[in-house]
């Protein structure tokens, strides 16, 4: 499954509910899932970690849908040619610089 296909599946399943909840409510759910991922990373099983990563990605896709952002296009534009900082693959940015 591609990122575009996943975002479309999330849209098809949840779009009406998501739009009623709005971006603020959706962001709160997203942050709750990030917290659950943090817990799983600290002490969860491999299956729990995988489930929480999937949930975080689903809520990210939900937020993108609510604000009409195509995730695949956004990712391609920012990371498709390499590191957004130095433009290289792998990243050659100095030290602890972001990214």
Looking at residue 33, which CATH number applies to its domain?
1.10.287.1080
Look at residue 82 and tell me if it is in a domain. no
Quote the percentage of the chain above a pLDDT of 70. 96
Look at residue 95 and tell me if it is in a domain. no
Look at residue 22 and tell me if it is in a domain. yes
Look at residue 92 and tell me if it is in a domain. no
Q: What pLDDT score was predicted for residue 55?
A: 98
Q: How far apart are CA 92 and CA 83, in angstroms?
A: 8
Positions in the chain short of pLDDT 70: 96-99
Contact 69, 77 (CB under 8 A): no
Q: What pLDDT score was predicted for residue 95?
A: 74
Q: How many angstroms separate the Cα of 50 from the Cα of each of 24, 40, 47?
A: 26, 9, 5
């Amino acid at each position: 499954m591609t990122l575009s296909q996943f975002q479309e599946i999330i849209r098809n399943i949840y779009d009406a509910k998501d739009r009623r909840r709005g971006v603020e409510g959706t962001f709160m759910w997203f942050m709750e899932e990030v917290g659950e991922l943090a817990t799983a990373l600290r002490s969860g099983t491999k299956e729990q970690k995988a489930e929480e990563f999937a949930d975080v990605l689903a809520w990210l896709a939900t937020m993108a849908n609510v604000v009409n952002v195509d995730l695949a296009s956004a990712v391609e534009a920012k990371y498709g040619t390499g590191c957004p900082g130095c433009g290289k693959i792998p990243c050659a940015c100095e030290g602890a610089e972001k990214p």
